[in-house]
Structure 1
Amino acid sequence: MNKLTLIVLLLFGLGITSNSKKVIARQGQVSFFSYTSVENIKAENNQVLSIIDLEEGTIAVDMLMNAFVFEKALMREHFNESYIETDIYPKATFNGRIEGFDAQQQGTQVKIIKGAFTMRGVTKDIEIKTKIENNNGGYMLSGTFETFVKDYNINIPPLLAGNIAKSIEVNFKFEYQPYEN
């Protein structure tokens, strides 16, 4: 009986240890902005999941593409049906590593995250300059990067080409809490 109790306690202790090395953001925020001479396009998505393995310095992001909210319903419809085709490609993902990340350092660090961003079935390697704030184990990541419509095989009809910018500014903010099963 003592051996069984010891094994249970060890497994429980290992579970706590492995969980404490990961943090999760269940409602991360991603927005994008596209400037054109005809009309600016802005959308926000608050249904973005992200996990960081603090020990390994790895990060994963999973985003539902049809969760973007636009000012106009027609913009949302075109985004989901014509450009991103969310019925075929429902998610975008990012898997990467935070270069030189020190999870124990309090305060703010500015780091480069290198990884693979996948959208519409196309994967591109990207690097993102990111601000990481550590406030007693509560982490916040934020940053901005630019991506290009052509890189993800998004087909823009020639008639609408002037209404859609060639590059899109993407902003993100994730607030992480300790991961618990």
Structure 2
Amino acid sequence: MKKIFVICSLLCSVALTSLAQDRYFTRTGHISFYSEAALENIEAHNHQTTCILDITKGELAFSVNMKGFEFEKALMQEHFNENYVESDKYPKSTFKGKIVNFENIDLDRNGNHKVEVEGDLFIHGVTKQIKAEGSLEVNGGKIIASSNFPVTVKDYKIKIPKTVIDNIAKIVDVTVKLELEPYNR
């Protein structure tokens, strides 16, 4: 009986270790956006992005707390949360998708791999399918995922009052950088 218990324990341990190695994770991913407009440029950073990457399927998902974006000016941050993205009503932005060319990437080899990602981006109560180019950099057991893509403000029903229409770009540049490590439960 004792041998059966030991064998079952070893099998479970190996299975859980294998499962953990199939996923990479972070809670401190960085997402920023930049709005270049005639009267004023606006930039914000968020270091509270959670992401999980399943390396068996090339699927990834991330979640961003909208109130986690930090601006140079406190008033910009207040307007962003209260007037534009309505953070109390829509507290998170999410992405769920896959790496299109994932089968061509060798994650066992250190280096930088160009990728194309497609999936559903949810912002301000609206979900849109997007495609973006990016990279996966493998280095010492970590994966650094990065991308840069445009987001059209009106696609996500974010209303900009006419009084500040020249202060905010119609298309915002979004940058993502996620340092992922093997997921350990």
User: What TM bracket, shorter-length normalisation?
Assistant: over 0.9
Task: Give 1:119's match in structure 2, choosing from 116, 123, 140.
Answer: 123
Corresponding residue number in structure 1 for 2:19: 18
Structure 1 residue 100: deviation in Å? 1.7
Counterpart amino acid of residue 170 in structure 2: K
1:44 lines up with 2:48 in the alignment: no
Task: Give 1:150's match in structure 2, choosing from 154, 157, 167.
Answer: 154
Separation (CA, whole Å) in 1 of partners of 2:139 and 2:36: 35
Provide Cα deviations, 1:64-84, integer angstroms capped at 9, x if missing partner.
Answer: 000000000000000000000
1:161 lines up with 2:158 in the alignment: no
Structure 1 residue 5: deviation in Å? 1.5
Structure 1 residue 128: deviation in Å? 1.1
Superposition map of 1:2-151 within 5 A: 2-101=3-102, 102=105, 103-151=107-155
Provide Cα deviations, 1:10-57, integer angstroms capped at 9, x if missing partner.
Answer: 111100000011111220001100011111000000010111001110
Separation (CA, whole Å) in 2 of partners of 1:3 and 1:55: 30
Separation (CA, whole Å) in 2 of partners of 1:155 and 1:39: 18
Gaps of 5+ in 1: none
Separation (CA, whole Å) in 1 of partners of 2:163 and 2:17: 57
Counterpart amino acid of residue 13 in structure 2: F
**What is the SS of the residue equivalent to 1:82?**
helix
Structure 1 residue 140: deviation in Å? 0.5
- Displacement over 4 Å in runs of 4+: none
Counterpart amino acid of residue 54 in structure 1: I
Structure 1 residue 107: deviation in Å? 0.7
Identity rate, percent: 38
Corresponding residue number in structure 1 for 2:182: 178
Alignment TM-score, normalising by the size of structure 2: 0.95
Separation (CA, whole Å) in 1 of partners of 2:109 and 2:118: 20
Q: How many residues get paired?
A: 181
Which shifted more, 25-34 or 102-111?
102-111
Separation (CA, whole Å) in 2 of partners of 1:126 and 1:69: 25
Which shifted more, 133-142 or 76-85?
133-142
Counterpart amino acid of residue 78 in structure 1: H
Cα root mean square deviation, aligned? 1.0
Structure 1 residue 137: deviation in Å? 2.5
Separation (CA, whole Å) in 1 of partners of 2:169 and 2:123: 17
**What is the SS of the residue equivalent to 2:166?**
helix
Alignment TM-score, normalising by the size of structure 1: 0.97
Counterpart amino acid of residue 20 in structure 1: Q
